[in-house]
């Protein structure tokens, strides 16, 4: 008999900046200053200039780590900024990408947050192949949930388009 793995991860398609959750996660760069594109620019544009001012105080962020700010003009209460690895194929990159999810979830728990939405970290301008990134994401979130079974948190992965949704559905064994 084969065992069916059921993940406690919600998939949504759309713009992460519109979600009224406790925290949305930003795929940021190490400076934590507004990026030139992608979800980082979308978040800074929607949150307003107060976000940049708050980010200045944080002294940047290392790859795999995470830092929290207010949500400013966003419907989300907080933004958790994490920095994914730039994809080169190096051995440590899967671990660094998994750390982004783990550290973001740890920060959410430390701040008593109970809903969090992630974009596909590193899978845009940082070049991580979508299928690999999706598998790492699903495993990292699932491992964290298993390590924190009594902490109630809604975990959403936001896919920007239908194509990415199919990649995540595949990674979760839903196809
Ligand atoms: N909502 C949800 N997902 C989005 C949105 C959105 N509004 N916009 C883009 N995506 P990327 P990275 C998806 O490039 O690869 C920045 O300039 C996008 O389609 O945003 O980690 C930073 O400052 C893709 O699937 O993040 C860094 O320098 C995913 O979000 C660099 O880009 C991630 O793409 C980070 O690159």
Distance 5 CA to ligand 1 centre (A): 28
17 lines ligand 1 (CB under 6 A): yes
pTM above 0.95, yes or no: yes
| pLDDT, tens digit, 9 for 90 and up, residues 68-88 | 999 999 999 999 999 999 999
CATH topology of domain 10-171: 3.40.220
The reported pLDDT for the residue numbered 4 is 63
Q: Where are the domains of the chain?
A: 10-171
Please tell me if the CB atom of residue 36 comes closer than 6 angstroms to any atom of ligand 1: yes
Give 174 Cα–ligand 1 centroid separation in angstroms: 24
* Dist. CA 74–CA 101, nearest whole Å: 21
Task: Give residue 11's pLDDT.
Answer: 97
Q: Which helix (H) or strand (E) holds 25?
A: strand 23-27
User: pLDDT tens, 118-171?
Assistant: 999 999 999 999 999 999 999 999 999 999 999 999 999 999 999 999 999 999
Specify the pLDDT at position 6.
Answer: 85
């Amino acid at each position: 008999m084969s065992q069916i793995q059921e993940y406690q991860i919600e998939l949504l398609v759309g713009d992460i900046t519109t979600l009224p959750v406790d925290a949305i996660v930003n795929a940021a760069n190490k400076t934590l200053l507004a990026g030139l594109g992608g979800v980082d620019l979308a978040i800074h544009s929607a949150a307003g200039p107060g976000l940049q001012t708050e980010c200045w105080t944080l002294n940047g962020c290392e790859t795999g780590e995470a830092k929290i700010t207010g949500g400013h003009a966003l419907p989300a209460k907080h933004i958790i900024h994490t920095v994914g690895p730039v994809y080169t194929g190096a051995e440590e990159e899967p671990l660094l990408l998994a750390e982004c999810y783990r550290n973001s979830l740890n920060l959410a728990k430390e701040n008593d947050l109970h809903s969090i939405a992630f974009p596909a970290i590193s899978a845009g301008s940082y070049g991580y192949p979508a299928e690999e990134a999706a598998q790492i994401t699903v495993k990292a979130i699932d491992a964290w949930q298993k390590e924190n079974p009594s902490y109630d948190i809604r975990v959403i992965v936001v896919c920007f388009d239908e194509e990415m949704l199919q990649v995540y559905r595949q990674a979760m064994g839903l196809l």
